[in-house]
Structures are given as C-alpha cells and as structure tokens.
C-alpha cells in the first residue's frame, strides 16, 4: 500500500503520461506544478531515444512544463554514463540523428564496433541492417538496448516498438542485450542516486504496467499506473504486476499523494 506521507519524490514517465505527441495530457502541467508546490521533488524519466537531452528539454518546456536538464533522466544518458566507464568503446549506433549528438564523444564504426547501441530508428530497419548488427554481435560486440518496449502510444494509436528487434537479435546471435532503460533496476537506482533518496520515498508514475510500474516495484519504489497513453485494460489484466495505485490520469496524482486537490476535469 502506498504510504502517502513518506513520498519525497515522483518519477514521471513522459509519453502517454504527461503528453502524447505534441499534446499535453489534460491537467498534466497543473499536476506537476502542484506537486512541486507541495515540496515533492520531481524527475522526468524516459526510455525515448528519438530526442537528445537538449531537444527533450526544449520539447517539454514548449509544452508548458518547467524543466531543467538535471531533472531529466533518460535511457540514452544512462547508456552514455556506462560507456564512459568502459575501456576504449567503439560504437555502432542505431539511434535517431538527434540523439547521436549526445554520443559524439565516442569512436564509431559500422562494422568493427565492440558495442552496438540500439534505440529508436523509426523506419530505418532493414534486413541488411539487422545482418550488419548480427555480424558485429557474433564477432564479440556487446549488445546494448536503450529499452525493450513492446509498443508505444502515438497520435494515431499503438505502434510496435524496438523490443521485437532486440529480441530477434538476441536469439540469432545467442547473446543477451544489456538493458539500459526501464525496467532495468540500474536505471531506477540511477534516479535514486541523483535524488539521494531511499526507494520507499519515491513513486514512479507510468502508463506501462510492466516497464514503469513493475520495474519500479522491483527496485523497491512504489508504482502508480495511469489509464492514459499505452494503457489497455486487457493487457493490464494479463500482467502479473499489481500497481500500488491506479488512477485515471496524472491529473489525479496530487490528490492521491494528499498534497492538493485533484485538478478539475
């Protein structure tokens, strides 16, 4: 059960929780502001690998969220932290061009990489590209997955995500990807370290019952599920994860935490 008086920070998922595409979820901006006013720290955690850190901050601020870079904890940034600790990493980057800017400090190679980093590349997938990655992996490269999401919510509905490609490459090369984003416990620990808080003092709010809620709970955090974004009742019912709380929207979070009244609908 969620202990409301012990919560000192909220981790917000982005897509499907605070906004969908270029449209904020109704009441999301006010909910974040109200939680800040209550003295609860906020962090914005995301698996997205289509936007650089600077572009992600710019998007959120353009939508009306008042965010500084230090409040954003992204799976690509977790990957960069990991690679900086490795000796002489040479990377093959399957990432959006904007995100590649954040990886400019690393040597890169298309066919002789010792680390293959897979993120969102949209329609860039091809059999030829999959084979290039496969050959890197069978020659000893480490597979790093920004995330392994099954699907995500877009303006036009659910869309298949990169998880199937990662799984296929794992199967073909008989290797296991290192997972950087949610639900990786390493990712949630990175957020806790940044906040300097204990797991029971932090709640994760997301629309993915497995990656967001389940991942947070496995790391000792509380997990709250919202019924927006990729949320689907049938999928949720089939999951073994039991959220600490389920709310219609992030706009209901201030009331759940007992800090302020819910944002009027």
Domain identity same for 213 and 231 = yes
Q: Are 91 and 116 in contact (CB under 8 A)?
A: yes
Q: Give per-residue pLDDT as tens, 11-69.
A: 999 999 999 989 999 999 999 999 999 999 999 999 988 889 999 999 999 999 999 99
Q: Are 225 and 252 in contact (CB under 8 A)?
A: no
What range does the domain containing 31 cover? Answer: 4-47+182-257
Q: What's the pLDDT at 263?
A: 43
Average pLDDT, the chain: 92
Domain identity same for 94 and 171 = yes
Q: Give per-residue pLDDT as tens, 161-204.
A: 899 999 999 999 999 999 999 999 999 999 999 999 999 999 99
- Among 179, 210, 245, identify where a domain stops: 179
Flag whether 59 is in a domain: no
Domain identity same for 175 and 95 = yes
Q: What's the pLDDT at 141?
A: 97
Q: Is the pLDDT of residue 100 over 80?
A: yes
Domain identity same for 103 and 167 = yes
Domain identity same for 164 and 194 = no
How many domains are contained in the chain?
A: 2
Q: Is the pLDDT of residue 96 over 70?
A: yes
Q: What's the pLDDT at 2?
A: 57
Q: Is the pLDDT of residue 264 over 70?
A: no
- Among 161, 179, 197, identify where a domain stops: 179
Would residue 10 be called left, alpha or beta, if left means φ above 0 and alpha means ψ between -120 and 50 degrees?
Answer: beta
**What is the Cα–Cα distance from 11 to 123, expressed in whole angstroms?**
30
Flag whether 81 is in a domain: no
Domain identity same for 119 and 37 = no
Would residue 206 be called left, alpha or beta, if left means φ above 0 and alpha means ψ between -120 and 50 degrees?
Answer: beta
Flag whether 83 is in a domain: no
């Amino acid at each position: 059960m969620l202990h409301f008086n012990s919560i000192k920070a909220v981790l917000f998922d982005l897509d499907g929780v605070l906004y969908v595409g270029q449209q904020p979820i109704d009441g999301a901006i006010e909910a974040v502001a109200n939680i800040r006013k209550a003295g609860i720290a906020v962090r914005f955690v995301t698996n997205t690998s289509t936007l650089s850190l600077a572009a992600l901050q710019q998007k959120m601020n353009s939508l009306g969220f008042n965010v500084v870079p230090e409040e954003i904890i992204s799976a690509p940034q977790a990957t960069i932290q990991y690679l900086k600790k490795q000796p002489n990493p040479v990377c093959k980057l399957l990432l959006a061009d904007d995100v590649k800017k954040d990886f400019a400090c690393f040597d890169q190679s298309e066919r002789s990489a010792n680390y293959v980093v897979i993120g969102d590349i949209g329609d860039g997938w091809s059999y030829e590209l999959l084979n290039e990655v496969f050959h890197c992996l069978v020659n000893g490269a480490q597979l790093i997955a920004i995330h392994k999401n099954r699907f995500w919510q877009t303006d036009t509905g659910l869309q298949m995500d990169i998880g199937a490609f990662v799984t296929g490459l794992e199967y073909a090369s008989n290797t296991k990807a290192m997972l950087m984003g949610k639900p990786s416990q390493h990712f949630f620990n990175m957020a806790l370290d940044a906040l300097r808080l204990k797991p029971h003092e932090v709640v994760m709010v997301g629309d993915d019952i497995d990656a967001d809620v389940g991942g947070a709970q496995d790391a000792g955090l509380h997990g709250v599920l919202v019924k927006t974004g990729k949320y689907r009742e049938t999928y949720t019912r089939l999951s073994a994860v039991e959220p600490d709380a389920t709310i219609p929207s992030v706009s209901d979070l201030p009331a759940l935490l007992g800090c302020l009244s819910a944002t009027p609908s």
